[in-house]
Structure 1
């Protein structure tokens, strides 16, 4: 099994194959998810004191806060894992 790291900003990385979802923190369900993870001691704050711009959910139910936009992290994940998917993502935007 090959280990691939995903840069989530400010020198922080996560294992790319453990990421289940990358979401925006704006909605009420995501705010509840963040609070529930904090109470369960499964919240990792990787914002480095900046505003939370994305929430990363892992297969171990850990919730990681990042100061980088969800679209940027998703782009990095696609670029690192399968370059062909990047072209599909660009085509959807056009």
Structure 2
């Protein structure tokens, strides 16, 4: 099975296969999820100090904060911006 990777901004890449949800950080329940993840040590801040625009929830209960819009992440997920690890490995062998 190929591992598909997706760019979530500023050179940060996550496994597309592990994504459960991409949501906006504005609602109270999402803010609560972020705080609980911070308390458990399961929060990954990939914003580089910028405003959080997307919250990515993974199947391992990690919460990832991104500075790009949820729509942008979703578009990258559905487009050719996904990096196929098998292709990358083949290119590096040449």
Fold match by TM threshold 0.5: yes
Q: Deviations over 1:11-69 (max 9, x none)?
A: 00100000000000000000000000000100000001100000000000000000000
- Paired with 1:61 and 1:6, the residues of 2 have a C-alpha distance of 18
Q: Which runs of 4+ in 1 moved over 6 A?
A: none
Q: TM-score, normalised by structure 1?
A: 0.84
5+ residue gaps, structure 2: 83-94
Cα deviation, residue 79, structure 1: 1.1
Equivalenced residues, count: 81
User: Gapped runs of 5+ residues in structure 1?
Assistant: 82-94
Other-structure match for 2:62: 62
3-state SS in 2 of match to 1:25:
coil
Taking only aligned residues, the RMSD between alpha carbons, in angstroms, comes to 0.9
After the TM superposition, which residues 1-94 of structure 1 pair with which residues of structure 2 at under 5 Å, given as runs?
1-80=1-80
